[in-house]
Amino acid sequence: MHELRKDILLGRWVAVLSDSKAPSEYDLSFMDRKEDGRCILCKNRENETPHETASIRIPNTPADSPGWWVRAVPSFRPIFQIEGDLGRKGMGIYDMMNSIGANEILIESPEHGIRPEDMGIEQMIRVLTLYRDRIADLERDSRLRYILIYKDSGKDAGEIFSHPVSFLMATPVIPKTVKDELDNAKQYYSYKERCIFCDIIREELRVGDRIILETRNFIAFCPFAAQLAFESWIIPKRHSCAFHEVTYGEIEDLGLILMSVLKKLRKIFNDPPFNYYIHTAPNMVPRRDHWHTLGEDYHWHIEIIPRLIRTSGFEWGSGFYILQTSPENAAKYLREVE
């Protein structure tokens, strides 16, 4: 089993794989599968993937068979595995545990060459519904602390499969980036008794310069202090800390605004590599003096990061990012795309 190790200086966790690569292996692709002219994730090859954990399909069609619109399957080479116990232990001054969790591939379409945003709103609703259902299901496991759904599009964004997919990682710890968000939101709420995200929504709507698109339930905007150029966020107007509490009407609206932003980026930059991920509340395992204000101080959202330039040593070493296009101008360019 792989190990999770805690960085005692920065408070973050890393996964150390049990099958360590030799130097000569680093020039190989992570998963160089021979597809015999067809992709293993396409329809009619369901018996070649692990058994699906969930799917949305034509009524009365059995699992692991054709007839699905979206499906979730365990990863071919999971970093986290659902079986076993955490096995927390110390090693000298260091802390470590087993890599308990879940690692799933969320297959967004049975068609290989068509992205969900190009298949119409019904398909995008199915994708987002699968996201919601998998988070809601895994949250019941008390060993799991956080569930992250993310998408990698393009080789420079870490893409593994050419088929349209997203990924799910469920971990027994809260990742450092998410924990920083949670802690800062809690501190802001303690001081002002208001949700920081709700205040951001009000400010962005008041100013307007960084708004890309507004719908009945959501806004898409470029953050005031974005990490990377043309970074955009989608955030619900209704205060809600957990993505899996999204309503059907909100899912339809979210599908429309997510499709629009992705198409705008594609048109401006001629299909750039990008990542997006959902930041949602952690699994609310009862803890002393912890999470009691989470429903008031946190707000789920989607962050979309186009990979337009290489990150420099200064940015890696300092965490201090340099924007070559201001958020105001980036939003203007995106707004103007038809």
pTM of the model: 0.91
Residues 198 and 158 occupy one common structural domain: no
Last residue within a domain, chosen from 110, 144, 171: 171
Q: Burial-class residue 334 by CB neighbours within 10 Å (0-12, 13-18, 19+).
A: buried
- The pLDDT assigned to 37 comes to 56
Q: Are residues 82 and 186 in the same domain?
A: no
Position of tokens 């360590």?
Answer: 20
Label residue 139 exposed, middle or buried (CB < 10 Å: 0-12, 13-18, 19+): buried
Same domain as 294, residue 186: yes
> Of all residues in the chain, what percent carry a pLDDT higher than 70?
94
Question: Does 50 share its domain with 157?
Answer: yes
Tell me, what CATH number does 37's domain have?
3.30.428.10
Quick: pLDDT tens for 173-183. Answer: 999 999 999 99
274 CB contacts (<8 Å, ≥6 apart)?
153, 154, 157, 262, 265, 304, 305, 306, 307
Do 205 and 167 have their domain in common? no
Token pair for 48: 């070649």
- Collapse the DSSP code of 95 into the 3-class scheme (helix H, G, I; strand E, B; otherwise coil) and give the result: strand
| Residue that terminates a domain, selected from 155, 171, 187 | 171
**Among 299, 295, 300, which Cα is nearest to 284's?**
295
- The pLDDT tens digits of the residues spanning 282-333 come to 987 655 556 678 889 999 999 999 999 888 888 888 888 888 899 999 999 9
Greatest mean pLDDT among 20-34, 75-89, 243-257 = 243-257
Structural domain for 40, as ranges: 3-171
Q: How many structural domains compose the chain? A: 2
The pLDDT value recorded for residue 36 is 47
Say whether pLDDT at 26 is over 50. yes
Residue 322 or residue 61, greater confidence: 61
* Residues 196, 159 within the same domain: no
Residue that terminates a domain, selected from 171, 186, 207:
171
Same domain, 108 and 52: yes
For residue 134, give Cα distances in angstroms to 108, 137, 170: 13, 5, 10
For 101, the 3-state DSSP assignment is coil
Distance of alpha carbon 132 from alpha carbon 300, whole angstroms: 12
Could you tell me if 160 and 235 lie in one domain? no
Q: Are residues 12 and 156 in the same domain?
A: yes
Residues 62 and 116 in one domain: yes
Kindly report the average pLDDT of the chain as a whole number. 90
* 294 DSSP β-pair partners: none
> With 50 as the cut, is the pLDDT of residue 254 above it?
yes
Does residue 74 sit in the same domain as residue 17? Answer: yes
Which of 45-59, 216-230, 281-295, 307-321 is least confident? 281-295
Domain co-membership, 196 together with 314: yes
**pLDDT of res. 285:** 63
